[in-house]
Amino acid sequence: MRKQILNVVVTLSVIATLSIAVFAALNNKLEANIPFDFMVNGKTLPAGHYTVEPGSAQNALTIRSWETKQAAAAITQRLEVGAGSKPQLIFRRYGNQYFLAQVIGDASGSELPKSKAEREAAKAGRDNLAMNAEPEIVKVSAQIGQ
């Protein structure tokens, strides 16, 4: 009898913990209208309305288009942001190519590593311009999703 009660208590504890984790993840979802095509982890996504949310693995993000249902995933590094920061997506622009660089929520942030395509665009930009040419930083406002 005690073993059955213990099993029920453990099972309910696990369910409660998972429910809290799922609820917390849903609160971290961001929505943004991105007015240009951009790349994430080597994949080109078209301009449009996007949802950015934590992936199934730790330090992962999923970026999904509302219109085309296309998606891309990326492994990220945690980014320290100030309390009360404005939700936004930050892109690095080389010529006419945009690369998602950071995702900032109201209390946390994520930084995406440079993909091979971005490193090549940066190199091409340096070859065509001055050696110290830096990418343009483009910020797109986001909203906390439901």
Kindly report the three-state secondary structure assignment for every residue of 29-61: CEEEEECCCEEECCEEECCEEEEEEECCCCCEE
What is the residue-averaged pLDDT of the chain? 80
Weakest-pLDDT range from 44-48, 55-59, 62-66: 55-59
Best CA proximity match to 41, nearest among 100, 110, 120: 100
What pLDDT band is residue 125 in, cutting at 50, 70 and 90? Answer: confident
**End-to-end Cα, the chain, rounded Å:** 43
8 A C-beta contact, residue 65 and residue 84: no
Beta bridge partners of 25: none
Please give the pLDDT value at position 18. Answer: 36
Of the chain, the percentage scoring pLDDT greater than 90 comes to 48
Q: Map out the domains of the chain as residue ranges.
A: 29-144
The whole model's pTM is what?
0.75
8 A C-beta contact, residue 40 and residue 70: no
